Amino acid sequence: MSLPQLHVSRHDHADRTLITLAGEIDLATAPLVRAALAACARDGVRTVDVDLTAVTFCDAFGLNVFLAAFQHSTHARRVLQLHYPPPVMVRVIEITGSGFLLHEPHVVRSPRSGVRAAVGEAP
């Protein structure tokens, strides 16, 4: 049995940062996401964009990290936005009423074509 893996990369552009995540976000890897987002806050980054294109799984621990980071960002007048979540993650975000996390609410990429479509449409 292999351990869940998550690759986290950070690309800074002036006062905006892109965090790219690839792999699974769960109990074991959520602290990596939390640390990356906290480092952006400590570094004074005003806008954090999180690219979720390569995320294959995200459980409640991962969602809680994003919710806490969003709350802290909003309180500090910073911006945190999630981009291109996989459809299963969008479903969890919708069910929990957390659509405000998404840069483009109700828009995801099709797993088959890579083309984005509105949630609820056939890909």
Q: Any idea where the domains of the chain sit in the sequence?
A: 6-118
Identify the CA nearest to 49 among candidates 69, 19, 13, 78: 19
pLDDT exceeds cutoff 70 at 119? no
- Average per-residue pLDDT for the chain: 85
Give CA–CA dist 25/14, Å, rounded.
27
| Least confident range of 16-25, 59-68, 92-101 | 92-101
- CATH class of the domain defined by 6-118: alpha beta
Give CA–CA dist 88/109, Å, rounded.
11
Specify the pTM.
0.82
DSSP H or E stretch at residue 93:
helix 87-95
